[in-house]
Amino acid sequence: MSTTETPPNPNGGGTRRLAEYREPSRLDKLLGASALHLVLTLAALTLVLPFVWMVLTSFMPLVEVDAESWLPTRWLWENYQVLFGVGVEGDIQYRGLQYGRWYWNSLLVAFAVTLLQVLTSSLAAFSFARLEWAGRDKVFLMYLSTMMLPGLVMMIPNYQIMISLGLVDTYAGLVLPAAFSAFGTFLLRQFMLSIPRSLDEAAEIDGASKWRLFWDVILPLSRPGLITLTIFTFIGNYQSFFWPLVMLKSTHKYTLPVGLLFFDSSQGQQTNVLMAAITLSVLPMILLFVVLQKQLVKGIQLGAVKG
């Protein structure tokens, strides 16, 4: 327990003693921490509740789903078997279902876009952050201004370009327009600006070319930023819907978000099978985040150091 005193009163009366300050006891700290953990737990349960409902529904028969039941009376693995064509002989409502193919298409397109976007963004970021050339900052501002354009505004011009190149209903038509990113360039540029310039000078003294400087020095030191961009790009393209919906005509080339429309047909919406399909579709994103979550947090923190 401690007390503080004010300076003497100019009108007389000496010093005045302020209210005594008492440090929180261990019990007070424990109660405060418990209340905080309770609030965070309730918030976490609120966020995870839709996911739990999705998983439970994927094991229910359709009758229980329509009855708005939360827990299945019997667990049906058949909902997952249907996705891969097991036990659907003669069932017309699942004819044409190619879930495994759509799953592979989504992974393939997301991986290709991620690889190209990380490569092009890192090269552009190196040019904007470490090289000196006339008009560099003005060009960067113009490049950055493209982030202000909504994706839907650019969809029609991109589609016309794909038509002229003959890339409609092709995987290349899905990948190429997303291979370049102003956001990715901006993100990696911030990381590269935080790397000391003395490393460039040391590499040049040792006879390193610009390419060696980029590949052997700057790129390894930008690893947290590269991982952050990889996660954002993969998740964004893995769950992309509008562009594949516009570009793809062949059923066997559908990606998962487009293929999931199959479950909302003239035969009615098969909610239980749809939830099974969605449960499997989110697994790559969860796995990617769990494996790279430490690097993601580190990358975001380091990216905020230098503006």
- 120 and 38 in one domain? no
Task: Report the distance separating Cα 29 and Cα 6, nearest Å.
Answer: 29
Structure tokens at 200: 């460039």
pLDDT of residue 266: 46
Tell me the CATH number at 179: 1.10.3720.10
pLDDT digits (tens, 9 = 90+) for 145-196: 888 888 778 888 889 999 999 999 999 999 998 898 889 999 899 888 888 8
- Residue 265 falls in which region: left (phi positive, over 0), alpha (psi -120 to 50) or beta: beta
Domain edge (last residue) among 94, 110, 139: 94
Q: How far apart are the C-alpha atoms of 85 and 97, rounded to whole Å?
A: 7
Q: Are 87 and 172 contained in the same domain?
A: no
**Helix, strand, coil tally for the chain in percent (to 5):** 70, 5, 30
Regarding whether 73 and 143 lie in a shared domain, the answer is no
Amino acid at 232: F
Rounded average pLDDT over 57-76: 79
- For residues 90 and 108, state if they share a domain: no
Q: What 3-state class would DSSP assign to 2?
A: strand
Q: DSSP label at 148?
A: G
pLDDT at residue 95 tops 90: no
Q: What is the pLDDT of residue 307?
A: 43
Task: Tell me the per-residue pLDDT of 285-294, one tens digit each, with 9 for 90 and over.
Answer: 888 888 877 7
The structure tokens 């150091």 sit at: 305
196-242 confidence digits (pLDDT tens): 888 888 888 888 888 888 888 888 888 888 988 998 899 889 989 98
Check residue 107 and give its pLDDT. Answer: 94
Residue 255, pLDDT > 80, answer yes
240 neighbors 105 (Cβ within 8 angstroms): no
Rounded CA separation 137/69 (Å): 59
Tokens of 246: 């516009």
> Per the structure block, which two tokens stand in for 37?
């953990």
Region 85-104: mean pLDDT is 71
pLDDT in the model for residue 170: 92
pLDDT score at 90 = 46
Residue 21 has pLDDT above 50, yes or no: yes
Identify whether residues 248 and 293 lie together within a single domain.
yes
Do 80 and 111 lie in one domain? The reply is no
Task: Tell me how far apart the alpha carbons of residues 227 and 300 are, in angstroms, rounded to a whole number.
Answer: 10
pLDDT computed for residue 109 by the predictor = 94
Q: With b meaning 16 or more CB within 10 Å and e meaning fewer, what string describes 262-285? A: bbeeeeeebbbbbbbbbbbbeebe
Domain that holds residue 244: 99-303
Question: Which of 53, 70, 94 is a domain's end point?
Answer: 94
Q: Is the pTM of this model over 0.85?
A: no
Local confidence band at 302 (pLDDT 50, 70, 90 cut-offs): low
Q: How far is CA 283 from CA 51, 82, 297, in A?
A: 12, 18, 20
- Pick 162 or 22 by higher pLDDT: 162
Do 48 and 122 lie in one domain? The reply is no
Q: Mean per-residue pLDDT for 271-295?
A: 84
**Domain end among 94, 113, 141:** 94
**For residue 238, what pLDDT is reported?**
92
Q: Is the pLDDT of residue 298 over 80?
A: no
| Helices and strands (DSSP H and E) totals, the chain | 16, 2
**What is the structure's pLDDT at 89?**
54
